[in-house]
Structure 1
């Protein structure tokens, strides 16, 4: 695979997907989560997307949408857990 800004974004999204999957599993197992730094990682991905061409950004949209759904789901479960 060629090293391009779009590939770098998709790799970062995939890595964060793995982190969120692990966080989800830990949460379901009743473990405490330390999500410190997650916002910085998301900000880094968003910054990288801003530097993509419009075509590259559109191509990355499905992966980013999936990532957003994972973040929203984890947030909802964490919010429900605190209640």
Structure 2
């Protein structure tokens, strides 16, 4: 029926959450590149994606989320960089 996981659940969950962090980072980096070149971007949905990511980190067992601190800080810096590139209203 189901294959047995070769990794403990917390390791699998951390890896899946890390993949989500990397994916969102890529999306933000692309958005920043588009803004820098003068293209318009649509940020709809990024708030939901960020909320899902926060929920995933909050649900990690024990202190396993600590391993994601540096990648999350890098993600925060990317948000700040994108914000800095956005045209002011």
TM over 0.5: yes
Aligned length: 81
Counterpart of 2:58 (choices 50, 65, 73) is 50
Aligned CA RMSD, in angstroms, stands at 1.7
Counterpart of 1:8 (choices 1, 16, 19) is 16
Q: For structure 1, which runs of at least 5 residues remain unmatched after alignment?
A: none
Bigger share in helix: 1
For the pair shown, the structure with the greater C-alpha radius of gyration is 2
Q: For structure 2, which runs of at least 5 residues remain unmatched after alignment?
A: 1-5
Which runs of structure 1 show a deviation greater than 6 angstroms over 4 or more consecutive aligned residues? Answer: none
Task: Tell me the equivalent position of 2:33.
Answer: 25
